[in-house]
Amino acid sequence: MARSIQVTLPDGKVLELPEGSTGHDVAAAIGPGLAKAALAAVVDGELVDLHRPIESDAELRLVTARDPEALGLLRHSAAHVLATAVRRLRPGAEIGFGPAIEEGFYYDFGVEEPFTPDDLERFEEEIERVIEADYPFERRQVTQDEARELFHDDPLKLERLEEFDEDEVITVYRDGPFLDLCRGPHLPSTGHLRHVKLLSAAGAYWRGDERRQMLQRIYGTAFFRAKELEEHLERLEEAKKRDHRVLGRELDLFTVDERVGSGLILWQPAGSIIRNEIEEYEKELILRHGYELVYTPHIVSEKLFEVSGHLENFRENMFGAMEVEGARYRPKPMNCPGHICIYQASQRSYRELPIRYAEFGTVYRYERSGVLHGMLRVRGFTQDDAHVFCTAEQVPAEIEALLDLVDEMLATFGYPYTIELATRPESAMGSEEVWDEAVATLRGVLEERGLEYTVDEGGGAFYGPKLDFKLIDAIGRRWQGPTVQLDFNLPERFGIEYIGSDNERHRPVMLHRVLVGSMERFIGGLIEHYAGAFPLWLAPEQVRVLPISEQFSENARAFVDEMRAHGIRAVLADRETLGYRIREAEMRKIPYMGVIGEREVDEGTVAVRRRGSGRKQEVMERGAFLEQLLDEIRGRSLDTIPDA
């Protein structure tokens, strides 16, 4: 007699089905519409294939195109379909990895010749044929020996198999002629794919190691609706226009010189103005919030990183040691150990706490050359790092204060944001109990304030959980922003103390926080957020004054001098034709142009052109225009951003 299982649905309804029934069987039992729409199932919290048997009683939720898991499922399956198409047209291609990523998917191939745009077109045509064939995605569990036999002619897969434990479950997936080593899950069949688009091909080292084989990586994306794909492609086109590397060069903001080194930024004068304005604003902000400024060296004895745990847990991201009189030194990857040493320079009392140290500290981290990317991924960068030393009782209030600080900071730059709570990683220091307490503290503050957040399981730093703030830019992309990390472990490793009201020694708690994070990454992101059109207070050149002809240059120069005397970054442009000078000012994305002709000289006015207003101009009394500029600068207004 066949055994039965009970499947509990999200609404509490219980279905009794034969043992070995699948998510598809559940959907069919509910109704034909759901049976057609279902793509996968979540069984006891695990996302599984729709046709995977259910062996025992379980809680089950069906996944359709409207559910958050569906897009990743679609894109993972699209990666396999891409590999199917490539193998049909390039039978000798070695197969690497093909994951879904945030904006789509990619797949790595070992081929003798790089892929061309024509190749991508042919692959897209073949993808459509694979979709039309409606091959089922078939899951199979295999042994190590069976897997090696299946992939005997695929060296990249054989290398991956060497990393499996003997007792680890190995699964493969087949769609039509293509077989891949994969954990899954996938869509029920290739015919469920919708709106797949290949975007580009680029070189990528196998396993991200520049010492290994160079592969060809094809990037693509997929959506359930044509309109969503169209909107995504429009965003990509807009992103190209906003590329900070292109705008940074056009606006003379920064440069990279291989003689200096890859991933090391040289700030041009215009970019340095932006950086300085942000640093000065942030200093004003944090001093108002009770921080003290400190400075620590760029190179530090390796012994400090032995104590902090960085050598043990972060060595692969650190630059090598240098010998100095028999001692080993390294460029610092973090500022926190230095701040701890400053704290420990004196005996501390509970009356001093909380102590808040802040530093614009330059750190150095080894990044592989293949991942370096303009200002967004570099090897040397300046963090607006701060560390708060406080009692356990003070932690919730300090986190509250940090949330206020983040909110004020990001509003100034016009960034909405989301929050992620990142929990204990596998390489964590300290006990699970301490981690659980720290996570609960962060979660409690967020929920007390009624803030929405998501959980990034295992995404914490090795010494403590954290809150990650993701900035949402003008075209909807997310950027890494501020972080707040709660740390019970470094205080323990360094043995830091304070004298309590009971005259006994106690261990403080430590909070790590950054607001902009990496100054290089933040400004690279700002370039793209503003499309190079910085608000007035940040603009390297705030006003360009344009006399209609040379006879008005002296009067225009006097107005420029007056603005400069008030701290306004004004420039006189009196060469070439007026039309040329206007076009150049527009290309340089200068917030205001002031045109001066005979009438403006006689009446003491200026014809003001605001960035983005086309040919429209407003004749203003010069004093009124000057006061308007100063008000916008003092208020750090975002009004001069086009479409703000």
Active-site amino acid positions: 336, 365, 383, 385, 387, 466, 512
Residue 328 DSSP one-character state: E
The sign one gets for the Cα dihedral 490, 496, 499, 503 is positive
Can you tell me the distance from the alpha carbon of 281 to that of 295, in angstroms, rounded to the nearest whole number? Answer: 18
Torsion of the alpha carbons at 467, 472, 478 and 481, rounded to the nearest 10:
-40
Q: Alpha helices, DSSP H only, in 61-210?
A: 70-89, 117-133, 144-150, 155-161
Can you tell me the distance from the alpha carbon of 463 to that of 428, in angstroms, rounded to the nearest whole number? Answer: 6
> How would you label 33-56 residue by residue, b for 16+ Cβ within 10 Å and e otherwise?
eebeebbbbbbeeebbbbbbebee
Which of 39, 1, 5, 35 has the alpha carbon at shortest distance from 20? Answer: 5
Per DSSP, the three-state class of 570 is: strand
Can you tell me the distance from the alpha carbon of 16 to that of 636, in angstroms, rounded to the nearest whole number? Answer: 64
- In this structure, the number of other CB atoms found within 10 A of the CB of residue 583 comes to 12
Rg (CA), the chain: 30
Which of 355, 340, 341, 383 has the alpha carbon at shortest distance from 292? Answer: 355
Cα 392 versus chain centre, distance = 31
Could you tell me the two tokens for 20?
Answer: 């070995």
Cα 284 versus chain centre, distance = 27
Per DSSP, the three-state class of 508 is: coil
Which residues, at least 6 apart from 5, have a Cβ–Cβ distance to it below 8 Å? 16, 17, 18, 19, 21, 54, 55, 56, 57, 58
Could you tell me the two tokens for 37?
Answer: 């729409």
How far apart, in Å, are the Cα atoms of 420 and each of 47, 307, 455, 515?
A: 21, 29, 5, 15
How far apart, in Å, are the Cα atoms of 204 and each of 92, 106, 116, 444?
A: 18, 11, 15, 42
Which residues, at least 6 apart from 411, have a Cβ–Cβ distance to it below 8 Å? none
- In this structure, the number of other CB atoms found within 10 A of the CB of residue 616 comes to 9
Which run of H or E residues covers position 610?
A: strand 605-610
Can you tell me the distance from the alpha carbon of 108 to that of 462, in angstroms, rounded to the nearest whole number? Answer: 30
Compute the C-alpha angle 474/479/484, nearest 5°: 130
Contact 28, 35 (CB under 8 A): yes
Can you tell me the distance from the alpha carbon of 235 to that of 224, in angstroms, rounded to the nearest whole number? Answer: 17
